[in-house]
A and B are shown apart, each in its own frame.
Chain A
Amino acid sequence: MLDRKLTFISGKGGVGKSAVTASLALLAARRGSKVLVVGMVEGIGAASHLGTRELAYAPRRIRSGIDALAVNRTDALDEYFRLQLHVPRAAPTKVLSRALSVLAETAPGVREIVTIGKPVFELWQANYDLVLVDAPPLGQLFSYLRAPNTIAELVPAGPIRNQAGRMRKALLDLGTTSLILVTTPDELPVLETKEAINELIAEPVIDLAGVVTNRVLPPLGLSEDGIATLPQGSHRDAAEHHHAVQAHQETWLPQVSAGPRLPYLFGLHTAGEVAEQLADIWDELI
């Protein structure tokens, strides 16, 4: 799961992508890797699971072995223009950069390639052993991953097209780049995950490293007969609840490939606690 230098983590909103991203970062750092966590999502995302509230566009050390940054469009556009686009030196810089911001607001694919360009750029910079991306949720993921192709349809030649070509190659490089999808054993997340896998088969824009199933309930340890011996009241209700949810999960679990399963974590108050516990679990899994 962690053998590619650039790994995107996505899934339906609310399945725990950010927590999984943070826990993988903790695991890799514990094992001695130098890790960069890139937040591509709105809001604080994975960083809140790593004990920080503020992130900047420049990588910042947030704990031993882990740096983090958050992509914002203004800075990303600026960096894309200055460092990625390779425009001729004689070009009118001011007009061009303003033109780009117009493009980013109107032309399909431009805003997306600028945003997804940041983690790829960090891969090219090669300052880290591992770049983990807290990626946009499934609904938006493909408009980002397909951005290089969208640009190729729109722009016939020139620096934007060339940069898109380099991005496309980097995203498709099986040795360095992969995508991990996170789901929970519920109807909608499983169906959307299967849909995403089919889209990746139809249009392979990135290599799928695997599907992680999050929030899997442990067995209750009581049969239905056992539950019936519990006194009437809250415990019997809770046991019946557990039994029902678990039975529901059992019907959805086999629908996704047999990737790693992470347990439901009970009663944890902070995002940091969740990530630490998940990292402990990963340590035994991989």
Chain B
Amino acid sequence: MSTGVLVITGAGGVGKTTLSAALAVTAARRGLRTCVITVDPARRLADALGIDSLGNHPTEVGEQPGLAAAMLDVTASWEAMVHRHADPETAERLLADPFFRALADRFPAAQAYAAGEQMAEHIESHRWDLLVVDTPPAGGGLDFYTAPGRMKEVIGGRLLRWLTGASIPGRRALYKVTARPALKLADTVLGGPLLEEIAVFLMDLRSLYDGLSRRASAIELHLQRATSIVVATAEPTPLREARRFFEELEATAGRPETVVFNKQLPAGWTDTTSLRSPDLAQDVRLAARENLSNWASEVRRQHDVKQEFAARYKLNLVDVPWAEDAPTSVDALADLVAGSVDLLRHLPTAT
């Protein structure tokens, strides 16, 4: 079974996770075997999907036949990668290493890489017609695209080569900082056997290189083939992030063609003529005039910035309307995107 892949990207707080879920529900209703991987969903959205804790293994969504959902578990992803690519002894040592924990917990690219790894895992399982991937917000969405390359760099031994000199010893036991007087001195000044510890860690990490770099390249390929959709709102920060995304994303990375503006107000609100209606009571007119004209100018502003954005980056522009309540059921999720025809055409057709 060939799997269609929809990558939903964008800055934090714009509603990526909700839209990912909404598209996945819609796809399942069209008869596609669908899986959605969510990143840090809000409590009520997780409830709507019936997933109650972190877990990379997808759970069937009880309320929606044909749909399964998972919640990205970064730590578990890294542990699984280590177990897969390293021998048991090295794996155990790596997982106990404070540098490894720092890499897996704090490095923003580690979360982005884990999401890509899960994406590849699901594509290669051939279990789904459609995989919807909600992405981590780091770097305004960019990190998800750059993480495989950066991971290859770190593990590829750039740092290690410097620490060990030109050649990398085959076995970690062979490496001693004491053999390099300048580094020994650096360690003394810096205040700990830091460099030696890092070198040993990097050597262990390097044993993952072959497996991990092959996987990282596979993730890059999957990304190029996927359909990517950028989500933003017309607020300044998400717009700024979305601009940066398009300015900095390399052309080869599977560039999105569609931008979704979420939480949009109806365009008709710019019309203020009815406020001048003589039938309107004087006090109503006075009370409401300022705020309602404000909404009109807000809608005009949103319209202007969206058009400018779509034109500048040559994108299809899709509006998803503002919803009063966060969706708490699969029906509400489907309703959210029901009117956004230009968005739904990205779903593959059921065979």
| A-to-B contact residues, CB < 8 Å | 12-14, 16, 18-19, 42-44, 48, 87-88, 91-92, 95-96, 98-100, 102-103, 105-109, 137, 139-140, 143, 154-161, 187-188, 218, 220-222, 226, 229-231, 233-235, 237-239, 241-242, 244-245, 248, 266-269, 271, 274
Is residue B60 within 8 Å, beta carbon to beta carbon, of the partner chain? no
- Tell me the smallest distance from the CB of A151 to a CB of chain B, in Å: 10
Is residue B251 within 8 Å, beta carbon to beta carbon, of the partner chain? no
Contact A43 B186, beta carbon cutoff 8 Å: no
Given contacts A91-B185, A102-B198, A108-B106, are A235 and B274 in contact (CB under 8 A)?
Answer: yes
Residue of A156, A237, A238, A241 with highest tally of chain B CB at under 10 A: A238
Is residue B116 within 8 Å, beta carbon to beta carbon, of the partner chain? no
Contact A235 B322, beta carbon cutoff 8 Å: no
Q: Other than the known A95-B182, A221-B286, what 6 A-B pairs have Cβ atoms closer than 8 Å? A: A13-B237, A96-B186, A155-B191, A156-B192, A266-B298, A269-B304
Given contacts A42-B139, A95-B182, A158-B189, are A218 and B274 in contact (CB under 8 A)?
Answer: no
Contact B268 A234, beta carbon cutoff 8 Å: yes
Given contacts A48-B240, A235-B274, A266-B297, are A92 and B182 in contact (CB under 8 A)?
Answer: yes
Chain A residues positioned under 8 Å from B182 (CB to CB): 92, 95
Would you list the 7 A-B pairs with minimal beta carbon distance, nearest first? A158-B191, A267-B297, A108-B102, A221-B287, A266-B294, A14-B13, A13-B12
Contact B295 A158, beta carbon cutoff 8 Å: no
Identify which of residues 252-308 in chain B touch chain A, using a CB-to-CB cut-off of 8 Å. 265-266, 268-272, 274-275, 277, 279-281, 283-284, 286-288, 290-292, 294-298, 300-301, 304-305
Chain B residues positioned under 8 Å from A106 (CB to CB): 99, 102-103, 159, 198, 201-202
Is residue B1 within 8 Å, beta carbon to beta carbon, of the partner chain? no
- State the CA gap A53–B275 with chains docked (Å): 40
- Tell me the smallest distance from the CB of A81 to a CB of chain B, in Å: 11
Chain B, residue nearest A109 (CB): B102
- State the CA gap A20–B12 with chains docked (Å): 18
Chain A, residue nearest B241 (CB): A43
Contact B240 A143, beta carbon cutoff 8 Å: no
Q: Of B186, B241, B266, which contacts A99 at CB under 8 A?
A: B186
Question: Contact residue range for chain B?
Answer: 35 or more
Contact B292 A267, beta carbon cutoff 8 Å: no
User: What sequence of 0s and 1s flags, for each residue 162-187 of chain B, a beta carbon within 8 Å of any chain A beta carbon?
Assistant: 11000000000000000000110111
- Tell me the smallest distance from the CB of A134 to a CB of chain B, in Å: 12
Contact B198 A220, beta carbon cutoff 8 Å: no
Contact A107 B287, beta carbon cutoff 8 Å: no
Is residue B238 within 8 Å, beta carbon to beta carbon, of the partner chain? yes
Chain B, residue nearest A153 (CB): B98
Contact B198 A107, beta carbon cutoff 8 Å: yes
Chain A residues positioned under 8 Å from B271 (CB to CB): 234
